[in-house]
């Protein structure tokens, strides 16, 4: 039971964190998505491996008596066979987004197949919506191409610019559990993430100013590949913790990117289980992440604080508070409007600093018991 408990907790926490994190992750980047997906799944396998070690030691000391029925084999690592999960969520922004203080959330889904307790392939799809902080309450300068000084200011609440954003992520992962020296279980996860988005319309095509001239880019469409390594540092009956480090690269540069150096994503995960059905977790993160609108990688810091509770064998509910934003792209939100076509000022480019979100998300989901919380 404990193994299943650990596995389900980690797996559901994984998805819960991932889904809950996305609104902020949309702000804090694809690195958070990578981490939120990788960490709980890896945690699941590590917990199971640690549990197996302790059970193995107990088996040696206490051989089952003859004729005693054997227990059903407990899960010893990654879930095997087919597993799935789906959920829908709603979110409430706690940041300053003015009148558009709504984050509708989205739907998510995951399908995985475990070849063995040490090898598992997983595909997932997630979507989330968000708004830049201060969008509807800010007053930003208006520039004309070729003119250094702004010609005036514009209240964004009346600017007629829609930057409501829905991000969509597709992830492909191959998880591999390795136990070093029969004592230290680690998980290595090659991962591919494809991100698309819609910004105020059917796609994320936006005009940005590059070197003083208009350039249309897909502002949030990127593909990333990563290689993650997850290590445990704490394991007690009530608590568990891991650290994950994941170097990542863009599959190719896009938009304003001028480089594609390896960006290291790191995440600390710590959970406390007050009951068999409930888990409280804290997850501070730090990552470097490229978006097409950025010349250089954003330096992203964020945290997630959540609680998961299993309702039935196949259902769960989870609430997560998260907050994050880049430390090297300030000020936050939309910071300027540029007229790229002088007469009329119809072709506009907007300039955004870092995007920051603080929000609470509530989600309800179903799934295979082995990948649900607990």
Partner 1 sequence: MKLRPTLSLAAAATLALALSACGGGGGSSAAYTPSAPPSGSPATTNIVGLGDSLTAGEQSGALLGAPVPVSGSLFPALPPTQEAGWWAQMWSSANGGAASTAVLPVIAGAPLGSMIIPGATPTQLTSFPLQSCSGAGSQNNLSAFALGSALQTRANPSAAPFDLGVPGMLAHEALYMTGPYQSACTIAPPTNVQQGQLNLLATLLGAESLNFYPVLGNFPGKTAVQAAVSLHPTLATVWFGENELLKFVGSLGQVNPTSPQQFQADILSIIQQLQQAGAKVAVGNLLDPLKAPAFIPQPGLQTALISAGVPAVVAGAVTPAIQASLQSTYGVGPNGYVTLSGLRKIALGLPSTTPALGPGDFVPDALAAATEQQLTALNAAISADAQSTGAALVDIYGTFNQLFQAGAVPINPPKCCSTQFGGGLFSYDGLHPSNTGYALVANTWIQTIDGKFSLTIPPVSVSAAYATDPWAPH
Binding site for partner 1 (CB under 8 A): 142, 144-149, 151-152, 210-214, 339-346
Angle at 298 (CA atoms; ends 297, 299), nearest 5 degrees = 115
Structure tokens at 38: 């990788």
DSSP-assigned beta bridge partners for residue 264: 247
Tracing tokens 């600093």 back to the chain, one arrives at 353
- Cα 172 to Cα 273: distance, rounded to the nearest angstrom: 29
Choose between 144 and 366: whose C-beta lies nearer to partner 1.
144
Structure tokens at 250: 């863009």
Choose between 269 and 338: whose C-beta lies nearer to partner 1.
338
Choose between 63 and 148: whose C-beta lies nearer to partner 1.
148
The least distance separating partner 1 from the CB of residue 119, rounded to whole angstroms, comes to 48
The least distance separating partner 1 from the CB of residue 153, rounded to whole angstroms, comes to 10
Choose between 332 and 338: whose C-beta lies nearer to partner 1.
338
The least distance separating partner 1 from the CB of residue 339, rounded to whole angstroms, comes to 7
> How does DSSP assign 282-312, residue by residue?
EEEEEEEE--TT-SS-EEEEEEEEEEEEE-S
H or E segment to which residue 178 belongs: strand 165-180
The least distance separating partner 1 from the CB of residue 338, rounded to whole angstroms, comes to 12
Choose between 187 and 208: whose C-beta lies nearer to partner 1.
208
The least distance separating partner 1 from the CB of residue 209, rounded to whole angstroms, comes to 10
Choose between 304 and 338: whose C-beta lies nearer to partner 1.
338
Long-range contacts: 281-287, Cβ < 8 Å, 24+?
281/13, 281/17, 281/305, 281/306, 281/307, 281/308, 283/17, 283/21, 283/36, 283/39, 285/28, 285/31, 285/32, 285/35, 285/324, 287/28, 287/29, 287/31, 287/32, 287/34, 287/35, 287/263
The least distance separating partner 1 from the CB of residue 255, rounded to whole angstroms, comes to 15
């Amino acid at each position: 039971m404990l193994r299943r408990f650990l596995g389900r907790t980690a797996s559901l926490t994984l998805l819960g964190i991932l889904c809950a994190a996305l609104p902020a992750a949309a702000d804090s980047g694809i690195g958070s998505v990578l981490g939120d997906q990788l960490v709980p799944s890896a945690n699941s396998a590590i917990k199971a491996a640690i549990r197996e070690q302790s059970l193995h030691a107990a088996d040696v000391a206490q051989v089952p008596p003859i004729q005693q029925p054997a227990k059903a084999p407990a899960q010893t690592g990654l879930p095997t066979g087919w597993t799935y999960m789906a959920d829908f969520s709603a979110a409430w922004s706690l940041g300053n987004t003015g009148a558009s203080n709504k984050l509708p959330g989205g739907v998510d889904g995951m399908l995985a197949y475990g070849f063995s307790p040490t090898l598992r392939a997983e595909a997932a799809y997630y979507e989330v919506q968000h708004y830049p902080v201060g969008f509807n309450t800010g007053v930003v300068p208006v520039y004309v191409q070729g003119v250094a000084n702004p010609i005036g200011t514009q209240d964004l609440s009346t600017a007629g610019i829609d930057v409501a954003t829905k991000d969509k992520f597709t992830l492909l992962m191959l998880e591999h559990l390795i136990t070093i020296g029969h004592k230290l279980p680690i998980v290595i996860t090659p991962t591919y993430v494809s991100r698309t988005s819609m910004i105020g319309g059917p796609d994320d095509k936006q005009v940005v100013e590059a070197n003083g001239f208009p350039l249309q880019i897909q502002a949030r469409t990127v593909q990333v590949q990563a290689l993650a390594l997850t290590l445990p540092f704490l394991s007690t009956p009530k608590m568990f913790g891991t650290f994950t480090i994941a170097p990542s690269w863009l599959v190719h540069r896009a938009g304003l990117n001028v480089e594609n150096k390896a960006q290291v994503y790191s995440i600390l995960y710590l959970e406390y289980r007050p009951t068999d059905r409930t888990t409280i977790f804290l997850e501070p993160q730090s990552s470097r992440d490229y978006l097409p609108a950025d010349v250089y990688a954003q330096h992203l810091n964020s945290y997630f604080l959540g609680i998961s509770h299993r309702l039935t064998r196949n259902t769960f509910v989870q609430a997560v508070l998260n907050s994050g934003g880049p430390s090297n792209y300030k000020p936050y939100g939309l910071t300027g409007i540029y007229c790229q076509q002088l007469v009329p000022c119809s072709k506009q480019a907007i300039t955004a600093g870092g995007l920051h979100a603080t929000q609470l998300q509530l989600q309800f989901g179903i799934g295979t018991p082995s990948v649900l919380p607990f």
